[in-house]
Amino acid sequence: MDFNPHILVEEDTYETQDVGPWALDKYKLVGNYCNIFTSGMKEKWDQLVYIDLFAGSGHAKIRKINKIYRNSALIAMSIPNKFDKYILCEQDKNKAEALEARIKSNFQNVNYKILVGNSNDLILEIINEIPKYGKHNKVLSFCFADPYSLNLKFDTIRELGKLFIDFLILQALQMDGVRNFETYYKLENTKVAEYLGLPNWRDIFKDELDKHDGKFLKFLADKYQEQMVNIKYLDWKKMHLINTHDSNLPLYYLAYFSKNERGHDFFDKIERSR
Ligand SMILES: C[S@@+](CC[C@H](N)C(=O)[O-])C[C@H]1O[C@@H](n2cnc3c(N)ncnc32)[C@H](O)[C@@H]1O
């Protein structure tokens, strides 16, 4: 892994997100996945596609150290073996414009499409942008989903998962799930039902208390895994834990899902390189 995903940039005039220092851990992981994915798969598939469901503005300023780095989408464009196409979804218009401007000035030769809006609502548009699979056009995608919260519907993953796609999904289980359990447990709240794709999750949570020991985090992680297995992803639990840097508290997981056994090697290599 000779690619360094931490790419410093100069300040410019476009919108830049302020993020915690742990974002650098996330950038290292997503960058290494992209690198290993394209270098390992380019001979076996005709087209490789990168999908970023929560793409951001392209640059992120790390709090405390005040340094600016390329974010997920631009890291994915910086790898030595590029993807054949980049599909980037961002809800915020200003961030999407910033992302586009930065791509135009740094990556003139990449094939990309920016979709502005809620990625959960844009699923058909996203799928339309993925080149059609055919006998002589084998298409494999790598999808990074990096929401702030549990704001990613399982229906979105289910639809994408009908294609050949590996996923790296940020699971805000601690940061959002556990912290907001009381709010989410209220009957009128649909967040967890949509996240897990399980409208009756409260009944399951009560019925399976012995399995998860009343621990909401374990319940969310286990159920997500089961839901992925239901849509034919491999039955493994491959999660990279991201902690805060000051007090080393768990913040979120980056969970990797694949339908192919070679994903074991990807995960293990990447976890070892942290
Ligand atoms: C945690 S940031 C991730 C940014 C980027 N992936 C990175 O590497 O830093 C989440 C981004 O998703 C955008 N966003 C939030 N909800 C969204 C949604 N439903 N669909 C698309 N984008 C969304 C936010 O505006 C924000 O830019």
The domain that contains 197 carries what CATH number? Answer: 3.40.50.150
Angle ∠(192,194,200) on CA atoms, nearest 5: 70
In a domain, 2, yes or no: no
What is the tens place of the pLDDT at every residue in 48-57?
Answer: 999 999 999 9
Residue 208 to residue 221: CA distance in whole angstroms: 14
In a domain, 258, yes or no: yes
Residue 247 has pLDDT above 90, yes or no: no
Atom of ligand 1 at shortest distance to CA of 92?
Answer: 25
Residue 3 has pLDDT above 70, yes or no: yes
pLDDT confidence of residue 214: 86
In a domain, 1, yes or no: no
pLDDT confidence of residue 248: 87
pLDDT band, very low/low/confident/very high, at 138 (cuts 50, 70, 90): very high
Q: From the CB of 89, is ligand 1 less than 6 Å away?
A: yes
Q: From the CB of 69, is ligand 1 less than 6 Å away?
A: no
Residue 101 to residue 159: CA distance in whole angstroms: 30
Task: Report the Cα–Cα distance between both ends of the chain, in Å, rounded.
Answer: 11
pTM score of the predicted model: 0.97
Residue 127 has pLDDT above 90, yes or no: yes
pLDDT confidence of residue 114: 98
How much distance in Å is there from the Cα of 170 to the middle of ligand 1?
Answer: 11
In a domain, 121, yes or no: yes
In a domain, 3, yes or no: no
The stretch 235-262 carries a mean pLDDT of 92
Residue 1 has pLDDT above 90, yes or no: no
Range of the domain at 264: 8-272
Q: From the CB of 56, is ligand 1 less than 6 Å away?
A: yes
pLDDT confidence of residue 274: 86
In a domain, 93, yes or no: yes
pLDDT cut 90: percent of the chain above it: 92
The stretch 144-155 carries a mean pLDDT of 97
The stretch 109-130 carries a mean pLDDT of 98
Residue 23 has pLDDT above 80, yes or no: yes
Residue 61, judged by CB atoms within 10 A of its CB (0-12, 13-18, 19+), counts as middle
Number of domains in the chain: 1
